[in-house]
Amino acid sequence: MNTAPTKIAVLVSGGGTNLQALIDAEKKGIITSGKIELVISNKPGAYALTRAENAGIRTAVINNKEYATREAFEAEVKSVLKENGIELIILAGFMCILTESFTSCYPKRIINVHPSLIPSFCGEGFYGLKVHEAALSYGVKVTGATVHFVNEIPDGGQIILQRAVYIEPQDTPEILQKRVMQEAEWNILPEAAELVSKEIKEKGEEYEHIQG
């Protein structure tokens, strides 16, 4: 078994609250089998980059708007991941849908957190407040969050962990979003990061070299 921590890259686009949950979990010893080595943002100036810098984590900005094609953008992301020896990719509020040509290079090496109980309110078009608006509009009594492996289907990969959150009568999309983050996302994303990092370590040479 490989004794070194699994090298993790976190891909972000915004404020980085889920990234902060991962950083805090590493400090608290919740994540021990992996180590966040790199944070990549597709948006210059994203506050998530400041969070990473404050924690002493290397950062990279790869602005998708500066590339003529999605393939060129993803090729640069893959190049940076390879340069840093990354073994596990965590999408934490990353607002770019990755193509099959990217995801197929990293089978069971990319995880994402989604703010609903998949298969409800997920897939293309369901992100951010839109998820919580849909849950409230539909009238469900329980929602939550899901961490899943990423494949070519948006929110379509194998589920790793889920946690339920009850909807309260006074909930607005904004209130519900905050509670789902606090009670579900910020807990199960670090837990899943540890589970998958540990599995990568234990599988040794089979997972020794990331593709791409």
Active site amino acids:
114
- Residues 94 and 74: their CA atoms lie apart, in Å, by 13
Give the tokens for residue 132: 């919580």
Burial class (CB in 10 A: 0-12, 13-18, 19+), 34: buried
- Residues 34 and 5: their CA atoms lie apart, in Å, by 4
From the list 59, 55, 47, 50, the residue with the least C-alpha distance to 15 is: 47
